[in-house]
Structure 1
């Protein structure tokens, strides 16, 4: 009987410890994967990433497909109100405040763009590195 009580007490402590460990590993990073060509979607994704950064989260942005043009001088997104800015300007704010911004690995080899066409602070992604980042339990995901 005493062994059963000891096992039960140990199980309760183990569960409580696991619960505390899970709470300690709350996500503190945001991974934004943006592929949409829609102006409103691009802009709002950047608004939310900036707001999340202001709340102390680490931000990493991966631009793929039509959204990857945000990484180049060719981006021609509209100015959105009430901010009076476009999505690329919000993206640059993220970079200027320490966010990692990358284009998907297949963007440059499958377009007429080269690495020289990317804005300062934006690089092609390394799929292995991005995959490891995504596997981190402290990372939340936001994708559009």
Structure 2
């Protein structure tokens, strides 16, 4: 989260809002995954071009047919009631978000590239590092 805060402070310090964001999700926590997806959705609705990188246990969200052990309750202001992180992820993808798993996710899991949801890629370290270094791209970690 600190890295994201720095990126946001930097972009706001120049008087211009970033229209691109990189969300890096590694947590296996249902609530953390859910909040990362809910915030990503809010950013996308506000016009942010999203790139999502799923690493470690969060990589499971990218696997076709994966179902979270439970759903998360949304705030009273959200009429959706209960949602699953993988459902929001698919909605984000349907609305143009770029989603990749970390380069080391597949070789360290029981999955291969054919197990991934349609549209999910495998990130290369170079392009992700470029995004992380770009002061015009806000970076958020969960």
Please give the TM-score of this superposition, normalised by the length of structure 2: 0.81
Q: How does 1:1-144 map to 2 (within 5 A)?
A: 22-24=14-16, 26-73=17-64, 75-77=66-68, 78-82=70-74, 83=80, 84-144=82-142
With a CA cutoff of 8 Å and minimum separation of 6, indicate the structure with the bigger relative contact order: 2
Taking only aligned residues, the RMSD between alpha carbons, in angstroms, comes to 1.6
CA positional deviation for 1:74: 5.2
Unaligned 5+ residue runs, structure 2? Answer: 1-12, 75-79
Unaligned 5+ residue runs, structure 1? Answer: 1-20
* Larger helix percent: 1
Per mean C-alpha deviation after superposition, the further-off stretch among 131-140 and 70-79 is: 70-79
1:68-88: CA deviation from partner (whole Å, max 9, x where unpaired): 000013533122224332000
Aligned to 2:3: none
In 1, Cα distance between equivalents of 2:28 and 2:61 = 10
Q: Which has the larger radius of gyration?
A: 1
Tell me how many residue pairs correspond in the alignment.
123
Which runs of 4 or more aligned residues in structure 1 lie more than 4 Å from their structure 2 counterparts after TM superposition? none
Please give the TM-score of this superposition, normalised by the length of structure 1: 0.80
In 1, Cα distance between equivalents of 2:108 and 2:18 = 34
